[in-house]
Amino acid sequence: REHLFGSSDELADAIGNHYKFAALRQVYRVVLQVDMLGNPVGFVRQWGTGIKDLFYLPAKAVVSTPKDFGKAVATGSASFARNTVIAPISFLGKVAGSMERSTDSMLAAMRMTPVHVGGAHADAQGGRGGKMFLQ
């Protein structure tokens, strides 16, 4: 803008545009930190670590000490297998945990109390999932 003076419509448009673009710039933070989504950034990071190790560790071994190439291939392959298996399991576990928390909070909001079925050590053996009924 050239100057600070303008009509009320221009001022309202400028303020509206400012907040609209500020909200759009921050939308990725909200979307990627929603509990219901688990942790998509962590999922991609962990999965990417496995893929990186699969190629990077053997290449690093060839450049530095070629006699350790076999060991580096084994280490990279193990990291790849571990991270590509653990990443989706961890992601799905976080999604399920957030669904359980939201269900518990909705029940509390509706003033329904959860009743846990099982013995005194049932929670220690299998967690709370699947053992909750309404009174």
Nearest Cα to Cα of residue 96 among 37, 32, 31, 29: 37
- Of the listed ranges 42-46, 56-60, 122-126, the one predicted with least confidence: 122-126
pLDDT, tens digit, for every residue of 80-105? 999 888 888 888 888 777 777 777 76
d(CA 17, CA 110): 39
Taking the model in full, what pTM does it have?
Answer: 0.48
Query: Which pLDDT belongs to residue 93?
Result: 83
pLDDT at 33 over 60: no
Helices 40-64 + 69-109 axis angle, to 10: 170
Which own/partner pairs from 32-41 qualify as long-range (CB within 8 Å, at least 24 positions apart)? 35/98, 35/101, 35/102, 36/95, 36/98, 36/99, 36/102, 37/95, 38/91, 38/92, 38/93, 38/94, 38/95, 38/98, 39/90, 39/91, 39/94, 40/91
What does the pLDDT read at residue 75?
92
pLDDT(126) > 70: no
